[in-house]
């Protein structure tokens, strides 16, 4: 956290885990800027993520994502939220080493509920629950690989989640329990 051009925290996790919501609140609490990598991609490309997927396919999207995330990790000094699939890139996972990466977790049912109708091309159509479970099965080990700390967002207020993350960042202990959760 002492390097001026490095994120204070990087949030990773599956769709619906709360990366953007928690990220915004965490940034406000820490009085630092917030950036969402998916939004950065849309700004850089001048089109939405579903449009990029439809026009160029997932491999092209992942290449753009890898480039945008690499630049943000080098130049951004706030709270950075990554798209759920950013960890699929071995290059991105390697770049995340040494950063305070917070893995936000959520169960399948809650993740599906929160992700419905949110313009998520990999969850569109068919059995969304089965697709979400498959996505989680594939990505969970990758989230754990890059995580400095893991925090559940399942049935917890965003305020409690943010307090727990702040406690961990400030103490330097990736397993610190929030005083709000000890009562």
Q: Is 155 annotated as a binding residue?
A: no
Task: Answer yes or no: is 144 a known binding residue.
Answer: no
**Per DSSP, which regions of 119-168 are E strands?**
149-152
Residue 38 labelled as part of a binding site: yes
Is 27 annotated as belonging to a binding site?
no
Both structure tokens of 1: 């956290």
- Alpha-carbon span 74 to 77, nearest angstrom: 9
Does the annotation flag 21 for ligand binding? Answer: yes
3-class DSSP state of 1: coil
Q: Is 29 annotated as a binding residue?
A: no
Enter the tokens of residue 23: 């990220």
Annotated binding residue 120: yes
Query: Any known ligand binding at 84?
Result: yes
16 annotated ligand binder:
yes
- The answer to whether the annotation marks 83 as part of a ligand binding site is no
17 annotated binding-site participant: yes
Taking the C-alpha atoms of residue 75 and residue 45, their distance in angstroms, rounded to an integer, is 19
CA–CA dist 76, 125 (Å, integer): 35
Name the binding residues for ATP.
Answer: 16-21, 120, 156
Name the binding residues.
Answer: 16-21, 38, 62, 84, 120, 139, 156
Name the binding residues for substrate.
Answer: 38, 62, 84, 139
Name the binding residues for Mg(2+).
Answer: 20
């Amino acid at each position: 956290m002492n390097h001026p051009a490095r994120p204070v925290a990087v949030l990773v996790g599956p769709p619906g885990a709360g990366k953007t919501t928690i990220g915004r609140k965490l940034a406000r609490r820490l009085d630092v800027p917030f950036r969402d990598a998916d939004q950065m991609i849309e700004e850089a490309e001048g089109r939405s993520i579903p449009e990029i997927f439809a026009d160029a396919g997932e491999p092209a999207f992942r290449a753009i994502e890898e480039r945008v995330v690499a630049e943000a990790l080098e130049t951004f000094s706030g709270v950075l939220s990554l798209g759920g699939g950013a960890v699929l890139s071995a290059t991105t996972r390697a770049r995340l080493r040494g950063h305070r990466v917070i893995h936000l977790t959520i169960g399948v049912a809650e993740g599906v509920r929160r992700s419905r109708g949110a313009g998520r091309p990999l969850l569109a159509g068919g059995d969304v629950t089965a697709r979400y479970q498959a996505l989680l099965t594939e990505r969970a080990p990758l989230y754990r690989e890059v995580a400095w700390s893991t925090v559940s967002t399942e049935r917890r207020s965003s305020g409690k989640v943010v307090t727990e993350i702040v406690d961990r960042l400030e103490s330097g202990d990736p397993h610190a329990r929030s005083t709000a959760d000890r009562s």
